[in-house]
Each structure stands twice: as C-alpha cells, then as structure tokens.
C-alpha cells in the first residue's frame, strides 16, 4: 500500500466560545437578557452589578464592540445560528427571513398549503378563485358569472376552471370557494366517514335547509320520513361543521412587551437610547481582578475569562442594537411623524450597509425586539418595508392608503376594489385589483357588498 500526502488550503470559520456567546446575546430580547444577566450574577463571583447611581465608564467596551462587530459577518447563516433560513441570492429580500406570524389573509395561508402538493398551473387557477372569495371563503359573485369570467381569463384552460373550484371545495379546507352556506356544509359533510347519519344530514341540507335554520325537528322528521331522534342526531352533526370555510389563524396569547429601545423627538432631531430599565448593568468585580493578578488558578482564571467575554459580548450587542435603531429611526422619520402612508421602502441590506455589518447581523438584532416611539411601541421589523414592484413606494404605505379610502368612503356606496385601484392610480400608485383585495383582507375589512350591508346598522348606532 502506498500512502500519499497532499497539501491543500481551505477557508472556514472558527466558532470560538466567545463568538458563539456574542451571537446568542445578539438575539436575546430585553426580558431574556435580564434573565441571562441575573443568572450570570448568581453563578459567576467575578461579576458584580453596577450601582444605578454610578456613572459607568463604557468607552473601552464600546470601542471594542465597534472593532469586533465585523467578526459576526464572517459567519455562515445556518438555522442553528441565525434562527432563519439559508442566505438567499442577490434578489432575495432578507427582510422575509425575520420571524413572522401566520398571515392574516386566509387565502394566502391556503395557497401556501396548496403550493406543497399542487401543480403550479393549477395553483394559478386556485389563486384566481380565491381572489374572488370574500374573507369568509364564499364566492363574492354568482357562480355562473364567475365561470364565464374564468373561461375568458384562462381561454386555454377553460375546462379546468370548474374542476379547480371543485378541488378547492373538497380540498384542504372543505367548503372553500362555496357558492352558499348549503354547498359549504355539504362539502364538509362529504369529508366525513360515510354513515346513515351523514346521509340523513346531507338530505336535510339539500332539500330542507329552511326547516333546519328554524330548528323545527318535528317538521324535519316528517319531511325526511325519519325518526325524530335520528333527525336530532343529524342536526347535531351539522352543528359541528364550520359556518365559514376559511380557517382563522391561532392567535398567540398577549404578552407583556418590554421595549428594547426608546425613540423620541427633541432638539429638532430624533434620538434613540437603549431601555436599561429592569436590566442589571454588570461589570467585572475590580477586587477579584486584582486578587487574581499573577495567579494562574485554572478555575478562577476560567471564571474571570467568562466574565470578560460576557461583558464584551454585551457591549457588542448593545452597540449594534443602538446603531441599528438609530438608522431605522432616521430612515423612517416621515413614518414616525406622519403615519403609515409615509413609510419608506427599507431593506435589511440598506441598514446593514449604513452601519457597516452584514445583513444577517441586522436580521438577528431586530428579531423579537421592540422600540417605544411617540406613535406607540412597535416591533423593529415594523420599520422595514418592501418596495412595491415598479414603484418608489412601500407596500405597507399602499395598504394604509387603502385603509384611508375605505374609512372615508360613503356609507351608502362603499368603494369596490377596482374603484380603489383607480383612485390610487390617480395618486400615481398603480396596483392591480387583486393587490387591493389582498391589502383589504390583511386589514380584516370585508368586500364592498358586505360593508354596504353593515352601513345601516352603523348609522343606527
């Protein structure tokens, strides 16, 4: 056997304990950081809490933080470090890697599910049908009219338009794209195991929905030629079905929010500061450091090194958070002063370039962090906004414009989505009717027909 040796060079990242600790501190929220520091004070005798009355001299730590922040930029972005997905290409909007709850638009959530197992061509037809559903999941127009419109919109696949609606109706969310409540309930029934009770309930929905609505069990039993006890059981089965096909997202319990940064306007400029309230300020105990001078005891020396790493990593975290918040406030000054319609397009890459770090560092530092402003306490990622395609305006600003137009519309004549799109075009913002419908659904606002029905009740109040 002949052995060979071959020299080579490879580039890698040495994830030292100090660097890993700095990354973890970078991602901690204010409550998590407070818990981390209090635990460190209990476990490491080399640390002590600063007296709030004392003026801490943090110049050295701040300078070191500026010099060492670049070390984060050498890291890859696997999920175990960043908390997000892999780094995308040049056209990737890194803002999308910030953790976000489920979409408030049920159609978006359903399309995300269908994309896992539907053909892209069928998915396009499904999106068209969902675009013509209200926020409950029912068709906004008569079925015959929509079938004709679908044939015109997809002339090469006119025969598949009705087929895709049936797939939606009996798919992941049974009853979606139903023409009425009866069809919705029938679709949900058909998804249940076959049984005599299900057959009786289907007959009830098909021919005697009026008697079901008034809960007349005796009349239902006579009309269906069935036993009254069986009818009551069938009615109970129908009552277990959902009234609307669109599923609502699971809402997380409201939690107490502690802002990480505070922003205010003073002296003609916007200023930011870290919120130190409730978070202990730690430093290395001077008497312990003096006592260890020239002492090589491994355990004590290890505790001292850990204390130094923690203090240095904390300074790096605070410096990066403060500089990031300062850029966000300066870039979104118009939003803070005028409101949602003035929010400017802003991406992670633009902020990263402004403070001289990688965009993955900005993604980590803003994740889960909040800023207190005169406009309320906001998530830092709320100050990012994706640019509307083909325009110099943020999509969230267009959503705010849609909200304003709906709030000021005549109660007796609410604006349809295509009318709103026309009004926006007059202001130089050109969006499709589908885009208006998407933003309206995100705002939990019903279509024009639903708002018109609600108008008399609102006026009576």
Asked, for residue 399, whether it belongs to a domain, the answer is yes
Domain containing 143 equals 134-239
Phi, psi of 216 (to 5 degrees): -95, 85
At residue 248, the pLDDT reads: 58
At residue 9, the pLDDT reads: 53
Residue 195 in tokens = 């049984």
Task: Provide the CA 30 distance to its chain's centre, in angstroms.
Answer: 20
Asked, for residue 266, whether it belongs to a domain, the answer is no
In angstroms, how far is the first alpha carbon of the chain from the final one? Answer: 94
Asked, for residue 89, whether it belongs to a domain, the answer is no
Q: CB of 18 within 8 A of CB of 313?
A: yes
Mind listing the pLDDT tens digit of every residue in the chain (461 residues)?
555 555 555 444 444 566 666 777 877 888 888 888 888 888 888 888 876 555 444 444 444 444 444 444 434 343 333 333 333 343 344 444 343 444 556 777 787 778 778 888 888 888 888 888 887 788 888 888 899 988 888 888 888 889 999 988 888 888 888 888 888 888 888 888 888 878 887 887 777 777 777 677 778 778 778 777 877 787 777 777 777 777 654 444 445 788 889 999 888 888 999 887 767 788 888 877 777 776 677 777 778 888 888 888 888 888 999 999 999 999 888 888 888 777 888 888 889 899 988 887 888 888 888 999 888 888 888 888 776 655 566 667 777 778 888 888 877 778 888 887 787 777 777 777 777 788 788 788 888 777 775 444 443 43
Asked, for residue 305, whether it belongs to a domain, the answer is no
Residue 197 in tokens = 């009770």
Q: How far apart are alpha carbons 412 and 403 in whole angstroms?
A: 17
Asked, for residue 311, whether it belongs to a domain, the answer is no
Asked, for residue 256, whether it belongs to a domain, the answer is no
Asked, for residue 157, whether it belongs to a domain, the answer is yes
Q: CB of 173 within 8 A of CB of 110?
A: yes
Asked, for residue 430, whether it belongs to a domain, the answer is yes
Which of 195, 223, 239 is the last residue in one of the domains?
Answer: 239
| Structural domains in the chain (count) | 2
| CATH number of the domain that residue 436 is part of | 1.10.10.60
- Tell me the HSE value of 274 on the side-chain side, using a 13 A CA sphere: 18
Which of 239, 268, 296 is the last residue in one of the domains?
Answer: 239
Which of 188, 217, 239 is the last residue in one of the domains?
Answer: 239
């Amino acid at each position: 056997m002949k052995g060979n040796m071959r020299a080579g060079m490879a580039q890698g990242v040495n994830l030292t304990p100090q660097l890993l600790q700095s990354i973890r501190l970078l991602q901690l929220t204010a409550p998590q950081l407070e818990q981390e520091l209090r635990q460190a004070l209990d476990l490491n005798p080399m640390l002590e809490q600063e007296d709030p009355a004392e003026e801490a001299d943090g110049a050295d730590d701040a300078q070191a933080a500026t010099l060492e922040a670049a070390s984060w930029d050498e890291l890859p972005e696997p999920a175990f470090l960043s908390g997000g997905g892999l780094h995308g290409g040049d056209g990737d909007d890194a803002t999308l890697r910030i953790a976000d709850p489920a979409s408030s638009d049920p159609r978006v959530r359903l399309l995300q599910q269908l994309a896992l197992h539907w053909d892209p061509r069928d998915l396009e037809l499904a999106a068209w049908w969902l675009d013509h559903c209200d926020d409950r999941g029912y068709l906004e127009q008569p079925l015959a009219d929509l079938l004709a419109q679908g044939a015109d919109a997809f002339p090469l696949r006119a025969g598949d338009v009705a087929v895709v609606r049936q797939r939606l109706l009996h798919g992941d969310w049974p009853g979606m794209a139903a023409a009425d409540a009866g069809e919705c309930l029938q679709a949900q029934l058909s998804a249940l195991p076959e049984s005599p009770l299900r057959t009786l309930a289907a007959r009830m929905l098909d021919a005697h929905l009026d008697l079901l609505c008034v809960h007349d069990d005796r009349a239902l039993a006579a009309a269906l030629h069935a036993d009254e006890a069986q009818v009551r059981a069938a009615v109970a089965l129908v009552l277990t079905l959902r009234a609307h096909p669109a599923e609502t997202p699971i809402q997380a319990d409201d939690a107490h929010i502690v802002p990480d940064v505070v922003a205010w306007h003073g002296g003609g400029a916007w200023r930011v500061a870290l919120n130190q309230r409730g978070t202990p300020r730690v430093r290395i105990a001077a008497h312990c450091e003096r006592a260890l001078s020239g002492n090589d005891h491994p355990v004590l020396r290890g505790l001292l090194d850990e204390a130094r790493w923690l203090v240095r990593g904390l300074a790096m975290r605070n410096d990066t958070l403060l500089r990031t918040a300062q850029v966000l406030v300066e870039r979104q000054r118009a939003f803070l002063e005028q409101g949602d319609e003035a929010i400017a397009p802003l991406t992670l890459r633009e902020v990263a370039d402004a403070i001289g770090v990688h965009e993955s560092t900005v993604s980590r530092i803003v994740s889960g962090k909040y800023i207190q402003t005169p406009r309320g306490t906001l998530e830092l990622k709320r100050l990012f906004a994706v640019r509307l395609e083909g325009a110099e305006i943020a999509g969230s600003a267009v959503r705010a414009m849609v909200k304003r137009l709906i709030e000021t519309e005549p109660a007796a004549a609410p604006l349809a989505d295509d009318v709103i799109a026309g009004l926006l075009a007059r202001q130089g913002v050109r969006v499709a009717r589908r885009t208006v419908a998407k933003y309206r659904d995100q705002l939990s606002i019903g279509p024009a027909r639903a708002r018109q029905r609600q108008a008399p009740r609102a006026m009576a109040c």
